A and B are shown apart, each in its own frame.
Chain A
């Protein structure tokens, strides 16, 4: 369905400032095709700014953002349109598909994928936080999306739901692979999900460590690979010796 060759996303010496506040200072990064890239860093370091630059919602003050492929964002909360039902929200992602029966089948498949069959006609405010995030994920996966930007998508959820949602994301991505840029302050999340972790410094954000995690997913939270990755990140952030 996706022409993986046409997907590319990179920063070329990007700097960004809001007035006198320099958020990014000549940052370069290259998102690899099909990888799960996780950005971790202290709050306020400019993670969300990076996502807004990647998606094109804002333009960098300096440098160049290269972007090909269809990009969709999954937000922390309130990303669904509250006046639309679950089914209608997912259908937004299928707007490019002209053929109505095909849209219906695709919508059913996605509802099944996120285990929310029977909730098609519910409104977002009638669902739990975890269910809402799954709907948002389904909407972002629908149709011709190539790259998903995830802006702390699970951080508004309670701890156990968050753990469950990570497993769900891994399962869903197995079925519908996408290139993912995932922003979080949660080190566990980074270690459990990432192919590659970029640890960011505080403002202005620079990459202070790049980390490859080769273990296959799903990864146990208490497994060696995850523990080791977490330790490296914690040391990098100066939170562990």
Chain B
């Protein structure tokens, strides 16, 4: 929500001159690359500590041809997808339930908050002991990183639904499951979409750390390998891929805010 509305605000705000939405970010990108070129060729750092753009491009080609890069991308996306979907499927209903029952809220919120503030990385030793090496520990860590924020955000959204909706629902005979699916859920859907975007961001950050210790492949493992072989050119190439995919998936999730039955939540 924040990003789209922030970008579009300039249309009616003080800065009313129209600019190409591609032009300005492209200029910044070129400037950053130029800065990188200047610093790396000025030999401020030894070559092994700051790779040049040229060496990064070369390692891109290398990693891609070896098939490692594509394999790592698929491995990471799979782990994030499974962990994130599990967290959403369990966390959103849990949040709906907590939002509707004061006693459940009173009972569980302190515990949920405790786990929310516990860095998911703290679970790494347990993840490895319980699930060994492979997809499972990473999926577990993604779940632990995203379940709590999703459940709490959904709960907070439900607790602030205007009481008028429930009065109307009562007069038109919505009860039980129908009340939940046709009144409670759609009235918090805009906030749930925002929560999904935020927690996906957390998941994509956590996957890199999770794969450094619990996996034999994945983007995080790729960076770890590069460090072990003192191949920072390869590390930078993985960093670029992580950033670009993260942005791309956020854009996809942002498309959810364009659904006609949630627009009201962003335009008020």
Contact = CB atoms under 8 A, between A and B. Distances in A.
Contacts of B18: none
Main DSSP-derived SS at the A contact region: loop
B87 to A, nearest CB: 24
A82 to B, nearest CB: 4
A106 B172 CA distance: 17
Given A125-B267, A125-B268, A57 B167 contact: yes
B13 interface: no
Interface residues of B, number: 21
A75 B261 contact: no
Contact of A57 (B170, B189, B260, B263): B170
A73 B167 CA distance: 9
Tell me what chain B mostly uses at the interface: helix, strand, loop, or mixed: helix
Contacts of B261: 83-84, 123
Contacts of B264: 82-83, 123-125
Given A123-B264, A124-B264, A78 B162 contact: yes
B260 A81 contact: no
Interface residues of A, number: 19
Interface string A20-44: 0000000000000000000000000
B173 A95 contact: yes
Given A123-B260, A123-B263, A78 B164 contact: yes
A144 B186 CA distance: 26
B171 A71 contact: yes
B168 A83 contact: no
Interface in B253-268: 260-265, 267-268
A83 B164 contact: no
A92 interface: yes
Interface in B157-216: 162, 164-165, 167-168, 170-173, 183, 186-187, 189
A95 B182 CA distance: 13
A95 B187 contact: no
B75 to A, nearest CB: 38
A124 B267 CA distance: 11
Given A81-B183, A125-B263, 4 more contacts: A55-B171, A83-B189, A125-B267, A125-B268
